Amino acid sequence: MFKKFKKFFYLHILRRKYYRVGACKACGRCCQKIYVKHKQVIQTEEEFKRLQLLHPFYTYLKIIDKDETGLVFECTNLDKETMKCKIHKKRPGICRRYPQEELFLMGGNLAEHCGYKLVPIESFEDVLNKISKKVK
């Protein structure tokens, strides 16, 4: 019963397609090589400066590169020696919720060896059954 309720809640209330499963291994990889999406992936320093006024999280980031996707950031709160977050207890919600399926929508992937996985809420079979019921 709880499983059914959870599935309904995720699919129809939260409108999610994936469950996040697993646990963080505190490797710090997701705090490096970050893309920032605000309507679109941030491409210029000017866009980024405007974004920094909107949320304190963005003030933690520094530009380290630019590639075909956009500007690449790393977080200044990452301790490079321990690979731990220096503000772990006070880290922003966006960090607590990582990874979310929006990551896929912006063409991203989970960091290598991340302890989390995003698994589809509906199996391929579920989706196929739904389609065949509609066709009948």
**Interface contacts to ligand SF4, rule CB under 6 A:** 24-31, 60, 75, 77-78, 85, 87, 91, 95, 98, 111, 114-116
E strand or H helix at 21: strand 18-22
Compute φ and ψ for 77, nearest 5 degrees.
-85, 0
Q: How far is the CB of 16 from ligand SF4 (least distance, A)?
A: 18
Beta partners for residue 34, in sequence order: 73
Reduce the DSSP state of residue 73 to 3 states and report it.
Answer: strand
Q: How far is the CB of 77 from ligand SF4 (least distance, A)?
A: 4
Return the number of the residue (110 or 121) whose C-beta is nearest ligand SF4: 110
Return the number of the residue (7 or 84) whose C-beta is nearest ligand SF4: 84
Residue from 103, 121, 95, 84 nearest 41 by CA: 103
Distances, alpha carbon 96 to alpha carbons 7, 45, 126, 128, 132, in Å: 22, 26, 30, 34, 39
Q: How far is the CB of 79 from ligand SF4 (least distance, A)?
A: 8
Name the DSSP class of 34.
Answer: B
Q: How far is the CB of 99 from ligand SF4 (least distance, A)?
A: 6
Q: In this structure, are residues 79 and 85 in contact, taking their beta carbons and an 8 Å threshold?
A: yes
Return the number of the residue (26 or 128) whose C-beta is nearest ligand SF4: 26
Return the number of the residue (79 or 126) whose C-beta is nearest ligand SF4: 79
Q: How far is the CB of 18 from ligand SF4 (least distance, A)?
A: 15
Return the number of the residue (48 or 77) whose C-beta is nearest ligand SF4: 77
